[in-house]
Structure 1
């Protein structure tokens, strides 16, 4: 007598960060690129988590397996990747705060643990940023290059999780895309003004520290 196959796990792939602050957009850019290149089984959800913090709790609680992309400051070489798994992820994010969004997401993970609805498997793919303080800027070349290694590892893991990744057969529509059309990486890079014209650096008379 044949036994029925176990149901496929509910898989959530989450990109965390802010596209408008240079390398902090790493996580969201990874999810965007993953969706542009691959299609997945119906049990997989790709989400631009942005800086939503506690609003992401339901996505974490509903996932059996959770894969997270994020920019993580751990005093590594810019562009270096670090992989953290399962119960170590909330602890890791609490070691050194990169930004307010990271504080909020650490709280999401800890709350999911407290409620007893924490994913069975968690993988954080973190990248050391090079530069953050560039409002309206984009990924630095070394961080953008690191996306390839991050995506390769993500696809490998997703295959073992039965996400069934396969090369995308048809282009995404604007309605399907995880990021808004005007924020898509190539368009964002092509249309954004220079640092000088956009005044992204700020006024040093205001930003300078008082002695």
Structure 2
């Protein structure tokens, strides 16, 4: 579709900072409204199921937690054909393997976005099942959103402050997993082991 804009967050909110991309999409939709040709997608860990969204987009913006080997919370922007190569350089999880394949398939089918931008954030902690974004990554998310909105404005997405509260039926992310609800409802580490069952790990002195 000509001039179509897709904004996608990928990752898994259940593994602490790996949820960065999805949390960005959640915040964008909560705070902003966009032109009709703009689509926000919670890509989660869907991998190849996202191919249609990529192929149909004239412009694609991706938010994701990326291991750049930098200080936690550091943002890095990667553009164009460098994005699929970059995502494959050092994978943190299976979702990145799947999405790199999506981008490569889009290239092979000659249906690759004309404009492609990856806004990635260096995670601090991932091995915390049921954990949430660490403070440094949550703070970086605000800068990432500002960068994303500025670029979307340049692309013609017409971002504007939301004039009415978001109806939960319109939300692209699950309301039950919304950042506030998720952080308030999750059990403490004292009540639930969030880094793996010690019975299955060798004890060290």
Q: TM-score normalised to the size of structure 2?
A: 0.96
Which residue does 2:61 correspond to in 1? 67
Cα offsets for 1:61-118 (capped at 9, x unmatched): 0000000000000101000000000100001001101100000000000000000000
Counterpart-to-counterpart distance in 2, 1:188 and 1:208: 31
C-alpha displacement of 1:205: 4.4
Residue of structure 1 aligned with 2:145, choices 127, 148, 151: 151
CA distance in 2 between counterparts of 1:149 and 1:177 reads 22
Shift of the 148–198 alpha-carbon distance from structure 1 to 2, 3 Å rule, reads: same
Q: Which residue of 1 aligns with 2:157?
A: 163
Equivalent residue, structure 1, for 2:25: 31
Pair member with larger Rg: 1
Q: CA deviation at 1:13?
A: 0.2
Q: Does 1:185 align with 2:171?
A: no
- One of 12, 15, 25 as aligned partner of 2:6: 12
TM-superposition CA deviations, 1:18-46 (whole Å, max 9, x none): 01000000000000001111000000000
SS of 1:179 mapped into structure 2 = coil
Equivalent pairs, count: 204
Instruction: Report if the CA contact (8 A) 2:17-2:125 is conserved.
Output: yes
Counterpart of 1:123 in structure 2 is 117
Match of 2:75 in 1: 81
Unaligned runs of 5+ in 1: 1-6
Indicate which of 78, 81, 90 corresponds to 2:84.
Answer: 90
**Contact 2:7–2:41 at 8 Å: present in 1 too?**
yes
Question: CA shift at 1:209, angstroms?
Answer: 8.6
Q: Say which SS state the counterpart of residue 26 (structure 2) adopts.
A: helix
1:199 is paired with a residue of what secondary structure?
A: coil
1:23–1:143 Cα contact (<8 Å) kept: yes
Residue 41 (structure 2) aligns with: 47
Provide TM-score, normalisation by structure 1.
Answer: 0.94
> In the alignment, which of 112, 128, 133 is matched to residue 106 of structure 2?
112
Show CA shifts across 1:146-178 (max 9, x none).
Answer: 001100000000000000000001111111111
